[in-house]
Amino acid sequence: MILVVGGAGYVGSHLVKELVEKEKVVVLDNLSTGFKQLVDSNAIFVQGDLGDRRVLDDIFNTYPIKAVMHFAANSLVGESVTDPYKYYQNNVAATLTLLKAMVDHNVKNFIFSSTAATYGVPNVDLIDEKQPNNPINPYGKTKLMVEQILEDFATAYDLHYIVLRYFNVAGAHESSTIGESHDPETHLIPIILQHLLGEREKISVFGTDYDTPDGTCIRDYIHATDLANAHILALDALLEEEKETEVYNLGNGNGFSVKEVIETCESVTGIKANIEYGDRRQGDPAKLVASSEKIKRELGWEPKFNLNQIIESAWKWHSSQNIS
Protein backbone atom coordinates (compact mmCIF):
# COMPACT_ATOMS: atom_id res chain seq x y z
CA MET A 1 0.00 0.00 0.00
CA ILE A 2 1.09 3.56 -0.68
CA LEU A 3 0.39 6.51 1.63
CA VAL A 4 -0.29 9.71 -0.31
CA VAL A 5 -0.10 12.72 1.98
CA GLY A 6 -1.94 15.65 0.44
CA GLY A 7 -3.86 13.42 -1.97
CA ALA A 8 -6.90 15.73 -1.89
CA GLY A 9 -4.93 18.61 -3.39
CA TYR A 10 -4.56 19.58 -7.02
CA VAL A 11 -1.38 17.65 -7.86
CA GLY A 12 -1.93 14.88 -5.28
CA SER A 13 -5.39 14.05 -6.61
CA HIS A 14 -4.04 13.68 -10.16
CA LEU A 15 -1.40 11.27 -8.85
CA VAL A 16 -3.98 9.25 -6.88
CA LYS A 17 -6.12 8.86 -10.01
CA GLU A 18 -3.20 7.18 -11.81
CA LEU A 19 -1.87 5.27 -8.80
CA VAL A 20 -5.13 3.49 -7.88
CA GLU A 21 -4.85 1.67 -11.22
CA LYS A 22 -1.88 -0.30 -9.87
CA GLU A 23 -1.62 0.03 -6.07
CA LYS A 24 -3.82 0.22 -2.99
CA VAL A 25 -3.76 3.81 -1.79
CA VAL A 26 -4.35 5.57 1.53
CA VAL A 27 -4.77 9.35 1.33
CA LEU A 28 -4.04 11.53 4.35
CA ASP A 29 -5.17 15.14 4.00
CA ASN A 30 -6.34 17.78 6.47
CA LEU A 31 -8.44 19.48 3.73
CA SER A 32 -6.92 22.86 4.58
CA THR A 33 -6.44 23.54 0.87
CA GLY A 34 -7.64 20.26 -0.67
CA PHE A 35 -11.13 18.96 -1.42
CA LYS A 36 -12.45 15.53 -0.46
CA GLN A 37 -14.38 15.23 -3.73
CA LEU A 38 -11.07 15.30 -5.66
CA VAL A 39 -9.96 12.02 -4.02
CA ASP A 40 -10.56 8.97 -6.21
CA SER A 41 -13.22 6.72 -4.66
CA ASN A 42 -10.90 3.69 -4.87
CA ALA A 43 -8.53 5.24 -2.31
CA ILE A 44 -8.99 5.03 1.47
CA PHE A 45 -9.35 8.58 2.82
CA VAL A 46 -8.14 9.67 6.26
CA GLN A 47 -8.76 13.26 7.30
CA GLY A 48 -5.91 14.40 9.53
CA ASP A 49 -2.72 16.40 9.81
CA LEU A 50 0.67 15.11 8.76
CA GLY A 51 2.15 16.88 11.80
CA ASP A 52 -0.07 14.80 14.12
CA ARG A 53 2.03 11.87 15.28
CA ARG A 54 -0.98 9.93 16.62
CA VAL A 55 -2.71 9.98 13.23
CA LEU A 56 0.50 8.83 11.55
CA ASP A 57 1.06 6.00 14.07
CA ASP A 58 -2.50 4.90 13.51
CA ILE A 59 -2.04 4.73 9.73
CA PHE A 60 1.30 2.94 9.89
CA ASN A 61 -0.07 0.46 12.47
CA THR A 62 -3.22 -0.23 10.43
CA TYR A 63 -1.96 -0.46 6.85
CA PRO A 64 1.12 -2.19 5.35
CA ILE A 65 2.59 1.00 3.87
CA LYS A 66 5.66 0.43 1.69
CA ALA A 67 6.15 3.99 0.46
CA VAL A 68 5.01 7.54 1.23
CA MET A 69 4.41 10.25 -1.38
CA HIS A 70 4.26 13.72 0.12
CA PHE A 71 2.26 16.49 -1.63
CA ALA A 72 0.93 18.31 1.42
CA ALA A 73 2.47 21.77 1.57
CA ASN A 74 1.65 25.42 1.32
CA SER A 75 2.99 26.46 -2.05
CA LEU A 76 2.35 30.13 -2.77
CA VAL A 77 5.48 32.16 -3.27
CA GLY A 78 3.84 35.50 -2.40
CA GLU A 79 2.14 34.21 0.75
CA SER A 80 5.40 32.65 1.95
CA VAL A 81 6.98 36.11 1.90
CA THR A 82 4.21 37.65 4.01
CA ASP A 83 3.57 34.66 6.32
CA PRO A 84 6.82 32.69 6.65
CA TYR A 85 5.84 31.10 9.98
CA LYS A 86 3.04 29.16 8.25
CA TYR A 87 5.52 27.84 5.69
CA TYR A 88 8.26 26.79 8.11
CA GLN A 89 5.65 25.16 10.37
CA ASN A 90 3.64 23.28 7.73
CA ASN A 91 6.32 22.54 5.16
CA VAL A 92 9.32 21.81 7.39
CA ALA A 93 8.24 21.02 10.98
CA ALA A 94 5.24 18.84 10.03
CA THR A 95 7.29 17.02 7.36
CA LEU A 96 9.93 16.23 9.99
CA THR A 97 7.22 14.58 12.10
CA LEU A 98 6.16 12.51 9.10
CA LEU A 99 9.73 11.43 8.33
CA LYS A 100 10.40 10.43 11.96
CA ALA A 101 7.20 8.38 12.03
CA MET A 102 8.31 6.63 8.82
CA VAL A 103 11.70 5.81 10.32
CA ASP A 104 10.10 4.51 13.54
CA HIS A 105 7.72 2.30 11.57
CA ASN A 106 10.48 1.11 9.24
CA VAL A 107 8.94 2.60 6.08
CA LYS A 108 11.92 3.32 3.86
CA ASN A 109 10.66 4.81 0.58
CA PHE A 110 9.71 8.46 0.16
CA ILE A 111 8.79 10.65 -2.79
CA PHE A 112 8.91 14.36 -2.14
CA SER A 113 7.23 17.17 -4.07
CA SER A 114 9.83 19.91 -4.32
CA THR A 115 10.00 22.94 -6.55
CA ALA A 116 11.94 24.97 -9.08
CA ALA A 117 11.82 27.72 -6.44
CA THR A 118 14.86 26.03 -4.81
CA TYR A 119 17.02 27.42 -7.66
CA GLY A 120 16.31 31.10 -6.99
CA VAL A 121 17.38 33.18 -9.98
CA PRO A 122 19.52 30.88 -12.10
CA ASN A 123 21.53 32.48 -14.85
CA VAL A 124 21.03 29.77 -17.50
CA ASP A 125 18.48 29.12 -20.25
CA LEU A 126 17.65 25.59 -19.12
CA ILE A 127 17.90 24.67 -15.44
CA ASP A 128 19.29 21.22 -14.75
CA GLU A 129 19.71 19.57 -11.37
CA LYS A 130 23.37 20.65 -11.14
CA GLN A 131 22.43 24.33 -10.88
CA PRO A 132 23.16 25.71 -7.41
CA ASN A 133 20.26 26.04 -4.97
CA ASN A 134 19.75 29.59 -3.88
CA PRO A 135 16.05 30.19 -3.11
CA ILE A 136 14.86 33.81 -3.00
CA ASN A 137 11.65 33.23 -1.06
CA PRO A 138 10.64 31.33 2.11
CA TYR A 139 8.62 28.79 0.08
CA GLY A 140 11.71 27.70 -1.87
CA LYS A 141 13.77 27.68 1.33
CA THR A 142 11.32 25.35 3.11
CA LYS A 143 11.46 22.85 0.24
CA LEU A 144 15.26 22.99 0.14
CA MET A 145 15.41 22.44 3.91
CA VAL A 146 13.38 19.25 3.56
CA GLU A 147 15.70 18.11 0.77
CA GLN A 148 18.63 18.64 3.15
CA ILE A 149 16.84 16.73 5.93
CA LEU A 150 16.30 13.87 3.46
CA GLU A 151 20.02 13.67 2.68
CA ASP A 152 20.80 13.28 6.37
CA PHE A 153 17.98 10.77 6.94
CA ALA A 154 19.29 8.69 4.04
CA THR A 155 22.75 8.59 5.61
CA ALA A 156 21.62 7.95 9.16
CA TYR A 157 18.46 5.85 8.76
CA ASP A 158 18.82 4.35 5.28
CA LEU A 159 15.78 6.23 3.98
CA HIS A 160 15.46 5.93 0.19
CA TYR A 161 13.97 8.94 -1.53
CA ILE A 162 13.34 10.72 -4.81
CA VAL A 163 12.89 14.48 -4.89
CA LEU A 164 10.84 15.89 -7.79
CA ARG A 165 11.34 19.58 -8.42
CA TYR A 166 8.23 20.80 -10.22
CA PHE A 167 8.14 23.78 -12.51
CA ASN A 168 4.66 25.29 -13.15
CA VAL A 169 1.95 22.67 -12.95
CA ALA A 170 -1.31 23.28 -14.84
CA GLY A 171 -4.07 21.47 -16.72
CA ALA A 172 -6.83 19.09 -15.71
CA HIS A 173 -7.40 15.33 -15.88
CA GLU A 174 -8.74 14.11 -19.24
CA SER A 175 -11.94 12.91 -17.54
CA SER A 176 -12.59 16.53 -16.42
CA THR A 177 -13.58 15.10 -13.02
CA ILE A 178 -10.64 16.81 -11.30
CA GLY A 179 -8.77 20.00 -12.06
CA GLU A 180 -6.95 22.97 -10.56
CA SER A 181 -8.89 24.56 -7.76
CA HIS A 182 -7.44 26.79 -5.07
CA ASP A 183 -9.21 29.16 -2.74
CA PRO A 184 -8.18 31.90 -3.17
CA GLU A 185 -6.79 31.25 -6.66
CA THR A 186 -3.45 32.90 -7.38
CA HIS A 187 -2.10 30.84 -10.30
CA LEU A 188 -1.90 32.36 -13.74
CA ILE A 189 -3.75 29.87 -15.96
CA PRO A 190 -6.81 29.34 -13.71
CA ILE A 191 -7.04 33.10 -13.15
CA ILE A 192 -7.04 33.77 -16.89
CA LEU A 193 -9.65 31.07 -17.53
CA GLN A 194 -11.87 32.28 -14.68
CA HIS A 195 -11.69 35.75 -16.22
CA LEU A 196 -12.57 34.41 -19.67
CA LEU A 197 -15.54 32.62 -18.10
CA GLY A 198 -16.75 35.95 -16.73
CA GLU A 199 -15.91 35.21 -13.10
CA ARG A 200 -13.28 37.97 -12.86
CA GLU A 201 -13.35 41.43 -14.33
CA LYS A 202 -9.77 41.45 -15.61
CA ILE A 203 -6.33 39.86 -15.46
CA SER A 204 -3.45 41.71 -13.82
CA VAL A 205 -0.01 41.10 -15.30
CA PHE A 206 2.55 41.32 -12.51
CA GLY A 207 5.50 43.24 -13.93
CA THR A 208 6.39 44.30 -17.47
CA ASP A 209 10.01 45.34 -16.89
CA TYR A 210 11.66 41.93 -16.46
CA ASP A 211 14.76 41.09 -18.48
CA THR A 212 12.80 38.92 -20.94
CA PRO A 213 11.87 39.58 -24.60
CA ASP A 214 8.40 41.02 -23.80
CA GLY A 215 9.19 42.15 -20.24
CA THR A 216 6.89 39.62 -18.51
CA CYS A 217 7.99 36.55 -16.54
CA ILE A 218 8.74 33.32 -18.32
CA ARG A 219 7.67 29.95 -16.88
CA ASP A 220 7.69 26.30 -17.93
CA TYR A 221 4.21 24.74 -17.74
CA ILE A 222 3.77 21.01 -17.17
CA HIS A 223 0.49 19.06 -17.21
CA ALA A 224 -0.61 17.53 -13.88
CA THR A 225 -1.05 14.11 -15.52
CA ASP A 226 2.48 14.17 -16.99
CA LEU A 227 3.68 15.04 -13.50
CA ALA A 228 1.63 12.20 -11.96
CA ASN A 229 3.18 9.75 -14.40
CA ALA A 230 6.66 10.91 -13.39
CA HIS A 231 5.75 10.09 -9.77
CA ILE A 232 4.72 6.57 -10.75
CA LEU A 233 8.04 6.02 -12.54
CA ALA A 234 9.89 7.36 -9.50
CA LEU A 235 7.92 5.08 -7.19
CA ASP A 236 8.72 2.05 -9.36
CA ALA A 237 12.42 2.98 -9.34
CA LEU A 238 12.43 3.08 -5.53
CA LEU A 239 10.38 -0.08 -5.02
CA GLU A 240 12.45 -2.02 -7.56
CA GLU A 241 15.59 -0.71 -5.83
CA GLU A 242 16.95 0.82 -9.04
CA LYS A 243 17.39 4.11 -7.19
CA GLU A 244 18.17 5.06 -3.60
CA THR A 245 18.44 8.85 -3.55
CA GLU A 246 17.79 11.08 -6.57
CA VAL A 247 16.66 14.57 -7.52
CA TYR A 248 14.82 15.23 -10.80
CA ASN A 249 13.47 18.37 -12.44
CA LEU A 250 10.03 18.20 -14.02
CA GLY A 251 9.06 20.63 -16.74
CA ASN A 252 8.44 20.63 -20.48
CA GLY A 253 11.65 22.48 -21.34
CA ASN A 254 9.80 25.35 -23.07
CA GLY A 255 9.39 28.81 -21.59
CA PHE A 256 6.29 30.97 -22.11
CA SER A 257 5.90 34.57 -20.97
CA VAL A 258 2.82 35.73 -19.08
CA LYS A 259 1.72 37.57 -22.25
CA GLU A 260 2.15 34.41 -24.34
CA VAL A 261 0.12 32.36 -21.86
CA ILE A 262 -2.70 34.92 -22.04
CA GLU A 263 -2.58 34.87 -25.87
CA THR A 264 -2.72 31.06 -25.89
CA CYS A 265 -5.75 31.12 -23.57
CA GLU A 266 -7.41 33.64 -25.88
CA SER A 267 -6.77 31.45 -28.92
CA VAL A 268 -7.93 28.22 -27.20
CA THR A 269 -11.16 29.81 -25.98
CA GLY A 270 -11.78 32.33 -28.75
CA ILE A 271 -12.43 35.01 -26.09
CA LYS A 272 -10.50 38.27 -25.76
CA ALA A 273 -9.07 39.13 -22.33
CA ASN A 274 -9.22 42.43 -20.48
CA ILE A 275 -5.63 42.92 -19.32
CA GLU A 276 -4.23 45.35 -16.73
CA TYR A 277 -0.46 45.80 -16.57
CA GLY A 278 0.75 46.27 -13.00
CA ASP A 279 3.77 46.11 -10.72
CA ARG A 280 5.97 43.13 -10.02
CA ARG A 281 4.86 40.59 -7.41
CA GLN A 282 7.41 40.04 -4.64
CA GLY A 283 9.53 36.89 -4.88
CA ASP A 284 9.09 36.21 -8.63
CA PRO A 285 12.22 35.26 -10.65
CA ALA A 286 12.21 36.49 -14.29
CA LYS A 287 12.61 33.10 -15.92
CA LEU A 288 12.34 29.44 -14.84
CA VAL A 289 12.62 26.79 -17.55
CA ALA A 290 13.55 23.17 -16.84
CA SER A 291 15.92 20.73 -18.35
CA SER A 292 14.20 17.41 -17.59
CA GLU A 293 16.78 15.39 -19.52
CA LYS A 294 17.85 13.48 -16.41
CA ILE A 295 14.47 11.91 -15.65
CA LYS A 296 13.90 11.23 -19.36
CA ARG A 297 17.25 9.46 -19.60
CA GLU A 298 17.13 7.58 -16.31
CA LEU A 299 13.44 6.73 -15.88
CA GLY A 300 12.14 7.04 -19.45
CA TRP A 301 9.71 9.87 -18.63
CA GLU A 302 8.20 11.74 -21.60
CA PRO A 303 5.67 14.58 -21.22
CA LYS A 304 2.66 14.29 -23.54
CA PHE A 305 0.97 17.71 -23.21
CA ASN A 306 2.19 21.00 -24.74
CA LEU A 307 0.96 24.42 -23.53
CA ASN A 308 -1.99 24.43 -25.93
CA GLN A 309 -3.16 21.00 -24.74
CA ILE A 310 -2.62 21.96 -21.09
CA ILE A 311 -4.85 25.01 -21.54
CA GLU A 312 -7.45 23.03 -23.53
CA SER A 313 -7.75 20.48 -20.71
CA ALA A 314 -7.96 23.22 -18.06
CA TRP A 315 -10.59 25.10 -20.09
CA LYS A 316 -12.70 21.94 -20.43
CA TRP A 317 -12.60 21.42 -16.66
CA HIS A 318 -13.17 25.06 -15.67
CA SER A 319 -16.08 25.36 -18.09
CA SER A 320 -17.68 22.28 -16.50
CA GLN A 321 -17.55 23.76 -12.97
CA ASN A 322 -20.36 25.76 -11.43
CA ILE A 323 -17.94 27.36 -9.03
CA SER A 324 -14.27 27.33 -10.04
Q: Does 77 bind ligand UFG (CB under 6 A)?
A: yes
Minimum separation from the CB atom of position 285 to ligand UFG (A) = 8
Tell which positions 11-70 bind ligand UFG, by CB under 6 A: none
Q: CA 279, CA 281: separation in Å to the nearest integer?
A: 7
Q: Does 314 bind ligand UFG (CB under 6 A)?
A: no
E strand residue ranges, the chain: 2-5, 25-29, 44-47, 67-70, 109-115, 160-166, 168-170, 203-206, 218-219, 221-223, 245-250, 256-257, 275-278, 287-288
Map residues 165-204 to x or -, x wherever contact with ligand UFG holds by CB under 6 A: --xx-----------------xxx--x-----------xx
Q: Does 311 bind ligand UFG (CB under 6 A)?
A: no
Q: Does 217 bind ligand UFG (CB under 6 A)?
A: yes
Q: CA 248, CA 141: separation in Å to the nearest integer?
A: 17
10, 87, 119, 139: which is the annotated catalytic residue? Answer: 139
Q: How many residues bind ligand UFG (CB under 6 A)?
A: 21
Closest-by-Cβ residue to ligand UFG is: 217
What three-state secondary structure class fits 157? helix
User: How many CB atoms sit inside 10 A of residue 122's CB?
Assistant: 18
Tell which positions 84-113 bind ligand UFG, by CB under 6 A: none
Q: Does 205 bind ligand UFG (CB under 6 A)?
A: yes
Q: Does 294 bind ligand UFG (CB under 6 A)?
A: no
Residue 51, C-beta contacts closer than 8 angstroms, at least 6 positions apart: 89, 90, 93, 94, 97, 98
Q: CA 118, CA 10: separation in Å to the nearest integer?
A: 21
Minimum separation from the CB atom of position 60 to ligand UFG (A) = 28
Q: Is 88 a catalytic residue?
A: no
Q: Which is closer to ligand UFG, CB of 48 or CB of 84?
A: 84
Q: Which of 13, 30, 33, 75 binds ligand UFG (CB under 6 A)?
A: 75
Q: CA 157, CA 69: separation in Å to the nearest integer?
A: 18
Q: Does 281 bind ligand UFG (CB under 6 A)?
A: yes
Q: CA 126, CA 289: separation in Å to the nearest integer?
A: 5
* Dihedral, CA of residue 10, residue 14, residue 17 and residue 19, to nearest 10: -120
Q: Which of 20, 69, 116, 227 binds ligand UFG (CB under 6 A)?
A: 116
Minimum separation from the CB atom of position 284 to ligand UFG (A) = 5
Which stretches of the chain bind ligand UFG, using CB under 6 A? Answer: 75, 77, 115-117, 167-168, 186-188, 191, 203-206, 217, 219, 258, 281, 284, 288
* Residue numbers annotated as active site: 139
